[in-house]
Structure 1
Amino acid sequence: MLRKLLCVVGAGLLLVPAMAISAQADCAEQITLRVDDWSSGDRVEYMNQVLEAFMAENPCVTVVTEPNISDDANTRRLTQILTGTAPDLIATGESWIPLYQEAGAFLDLTPFIQGENGFDPAEIFYEGVFNQGFYRGVPYAIAKDYSTSAFYINNALFEAAGIPLPEDGWTWDDVLDIALELTVDANGNNANSPDFDPENIVQYGIDIIPDGWWRGFQSYLYSWGAHTISDDGTTTAGYLDSENAVAAWEFYRDLVNVYHVAPSATILGSIEGGRTQMFQDGQLAIGNTFHGPWWQDVFNETPNLSWSVAPLPAGPDGIRESAVMWMGWGINANTEHPDEAWALLRWLTTEPGQRVFALKALSADRAVSEEMQRVDDPYWGVFIAEADHLGQLDEQLNPYYGPCVFTPAGDLLTRVMSDGGEEIDIAAELTALSAEADACLAEAAEAGVAAVAEGS
């Protein structure tokens, strides 16, 4: 899609606290741009640096940031869009672009990209990351930053067992083989031993997603060739409950109940700190699976923990495909200053802003990543390489995927991976869930976006 639309791009925005940053100059008109801001912690200072630089270059523009970091931030944005009160640059996660656009949120970025102040996105961005800002073939938003996934590895446990650290190209069969070797009971028997006691495990080979986190599980499903909705976004039947999907769900559950190499969601929920704490304590060989680059500081500060990250494994048919976590901005369709909004969006999502933001996050700007030596870094490089395997997000195929599929499917995942989940007929549950999801999608489409906002 990126090269097909080489003159089609928008830019992602950034964050700042509730403040205005302006510059003094001789201006015929002082323009004010409002920016949706989700920054916190040291990211606030980063945003300030970027905006101050923009103001210095554009002294007739004042940028006002509007904090929106509450639990209901996404639905608050939807309400702002529907009521015409949204800022000039609207923040959005990749999953919310369809719903926001159905509400009339964004300008098509194509004219800006193709215009005098445009650029060739194929020369700037990682294609898989850039494509997440599209809806129905049109670019509406660009990422400020993004996150792919990896598996966190306890190096010491691998070394003690004489097992090489995983490399790109490993598979889910490899994951299981390694997890069997690294799951150990109180008597020192691993899960391959006939004397292994599954009721008395002191070290697990791998963890599972315990809380129904559907985005993480999507990466797993994609590697099994199991997307959950049709390409035209009209039905989940035959997708959510496909043979590949059922096989993937059953294999994942078997990690807990058949192979005993992973703790159940019930066990993980009973431990303060959950799987992260277990990994820090040396009770997990492969931990925080499908997490992004969020744990570097935490794990580096953990005493006596030698750790690394590994690429995601391929599925049974060699498929290497995963989902992305992404946050960026689009230009409000009702902005009074589209050209100035584009200038700011471009500043934030390309080299000027990305050089600052990339200090603590992944940048979709290839040149910035390469210049900061992230590509070859043993930590950041794994996550960057995963950008070459990003697939189409199912949420972007239907604006109502979130309430109709994402949430109920996550609830089912929690039940399946908890104690008693071994009794669940997965095929039957997925068939029922698919029927309910299709009915929900049809009902939501008829009710419209406003009904979603009211029901949130």
Structure 2
Amino acid sequence: NAPCIVGPVGIRGRDSFKGAWLDLQPYIEKYNYDLSDFDPAMIKFLSVKEEGQLGIPFAVFPSFIIYNKDLFDEAGLPYPPAHHGDPYVDENGNELDWNMDTLRELAMKLTVDANGNDATSPDFDSENIVQFGFMNQWTDPRGVGTFFGAGSLVDENGNAQIPENWKAAWKWTYDGWWKDWFIPNGPYGGAEFLQGPGGPFSSGNMAMIHIHMWYVAPWALGEANFDWNLAATPNYQGTITAKMHADTFGILKGCPHPDEAFQVLTYMLSEEHANDLLTIYGGMPARLSLQPDYFQLYQETNFPDKTDINWDVVVEAMAYADNPNHESWMPSFQETTDRYNEFWDYLANTPDADFEAEVAKLQEDLQAIFDAAKNK
């Protein structure tokens, strides 16, 4: 006696039941449902190859840079760009492309040892770091890979692959752990000076992180004893990818009354009623018309004394959502997750790892897992 409508559900939850969801596109066309109040990128984000339009945008959690203004001020460095596509203007007034190389250089200047030397100094002591410049906080290898562009560990034929942009992101991170020192590696990750209610960033000893809208909340930042703001995601080879978390409602394929279910679904997600659900479940409205009032109310409720939050960059980020999404379906979902997390933990704790060999071994092991799944 399963329900027709299921949700709110994120990408990971949805794709844990791959093939169970009704394609809504025929009903959108049949009832001439108006999608103009949604960013086209968000509509595409919920469209899955060979399965169709599996949802209508509801609650979204874009990603962006959060930075510690106090640490930038202390270092005499300008803040990161407030808008996607803008250059970074450095301390000398030079305009630099806001890309991964610029982020790396900036993060190294904001990584400091106990003697006050930053990571660009020849006197820098990597064994006594007290402040880090950057990290992709609270994500896994797929999320880190997506920082350099959307991709998947599964190719179009169902075989294991390592996208080249993901491999580049992993190498950039590995070097950031063990060579350039601007990202906390495994041992530093547990250091007392990086512990805060909202993880490393809220400790006050992390200059920048990349994370989602759900982090901009009192539980993470309410007790922060420093000033902060939001900035744009940098580009990789000219392309910006701001990975997305999003919740929607889906209709099961087995629904005996799909037309009626679609009517109920569109009523729930309408401009008149979506806020009622958003208040219950939380989340930034995907409807463009609801966003201006949402941010004003959210700020007044959660950060009443902070009036300079750059909400514009959150809205902009929706146009750069990752598709395929970094939480999308994989064969033997949990076994695959366990294997790539094992790979990641090894790299984070091994300064002299053979990076190329470990990546090759990961792909080989994932292929074995995928092959076993096909034979079940």
Matching residue within 275, 278, 282 for 2:204: 282
Matched, 1:165 2:79: yes
The aligned amino acid for 1:216 is G
My pick for the range that moved more, 422-431 or 271-280, is: 271-280
1:132-147 correspondence to structure 2 within 5 Å: 132-135=45-48, 136=50, 138-147=52-61
Contact 2:56 2:248 in 1 (8 A): yes
1:100 maps to 2:17: yes
1:124 aligns with 2:37: yes
Say if 2:160 is the partner of 1:236: yes
1:50-108 residue CA offsets vs partner (Å, 9 max, x unmatched): xxxxxxxxxxxxxxxxxxxxxxxxxxxxxxxxxxx432212332234455243xx2333
Percent sequence identity over aligned pairs: 24
Closer/same/farther in 2, CA of residues 233 and 395 from structure 1, 3 Å limit: farther
The answer to which of 268-277 and 306-315 deviates more is 268-277
User: How far off is 1:307 after superposition?
Assistant: 0.4
Partner of 2:2: 86
Looking at structure 1, the residues matched to 111 and 327 of structure 2 have their Cα atoms a distance apart, in angstroms, of 38
Match of 1:422 in 2: 351
- Return the offset for 1:155: 0.4
Aligned to 1:264: 185
Q: 1:258 to 1:157 in 2, by over 3 A?
A: same
Cα pair 1:208 1:264 within 8 Å, conserved = no
1:216 equivalent among 139, 143, 165: 143
Which gives a bigger RCO, structure 1 or 2 (Cα 8 Å, sep 6+)? 2
Identify the residue that residue 187 of structure 1 maps to in structure 2: 115
Tell me how far apart the structure 2 counterparts of residues 221 and 409 of structure 1 sit (CA, whole Å).
18
- 1:257 maps to amino acid: W
- Tell me how far 1:227 sits from its aligned partner: 4.8
Larger-gyration structure (1/2): 1
CA apart distance, 1:291? 3.4
CA drift at 1:252 = 0.7
How does 1:28-427 map onto structure 2 within 5 Å? 85-91=1-7, 92-102=9-19, 105-116=20-31, 118-121=32-35, 123-135=36-48, 136=50, 138-167=52-81, 168-169=84-85, 170-209=98-137, 213-222=140-149, 227-230=152-155, 232-237=156-161, 239-240=162-163, 242=164, 244-271=165-192, 273=195, 276-287=198-209, 289-298=210-219, 300-315=221-236, 317-357=237-277, 360-370=282-292, 372=294, 378-393=309-324, 400=331, 402-403=333-334, 405-418=336-349, 421-427=350-356
Amino acid at match of 2:5: L
Corresponding residue pairs, total: 347
Counterpart CA distance in 2 for 1:226 and 1:363 is 26
The C-alpha deviation readout for 1:298-339, integer Å capped at 9, x for no partner, is 455225320011121112x12212332122221122334433
User: Which TM-score applies when normalising by structure 1?
Assistant: 0.68
**Cα distance, 1:249 vs structure 2:** 1.6
Q: Distance between the aligned counterparts of 1:147 and 1:110, measured in 2?
A: 24
Report the CA distance shift for 1:350/1:439 in structure 2 as closer, same or farther (over 3 A).
farther
Mapped partners of 1:99, 1:280: distance in 2: 32
Long gaps (5+) in structure 2 = 86-97, 297-307
What is the RMSD of the two structures over their aligned residues, measured on CA atoms? 2.9
| Pair 298,181 (structure 1): closer, same or farther in 2 beyond 3 Å | same
User: 1:344 & 1:335 partners in 2: Cα distance?
Assistant: 13
Q: Aligned to 2:65, what secondary structure does the other structure show? A: strand
- Give the distance between the partners of 1:150 and 1:324, measured in 2 at CA: 10
Contact map agreement 1:94 1:132 (CA 8 A) in 2:
no
Give the C-alpha shift of residue 398 in structure 1: 5.4
Task: Deviation per CA, 1:317-372: give whole Å up to 9, x if none.
Answer: 12212332122221122334433322221122231233345564222212222454
Q: How does the TM-score come out when normalised to structure 2?
A: 0.81
1:73 corresponds to: none
Name the CA distance, whole Å, in 2 between partners of 1:127 and 1:251.
31
Secondary structure of 1:433's match? helix
What CA distance in whole angstroms lies between the structure 2 residues aligned with 1:228 and 1:263? 25
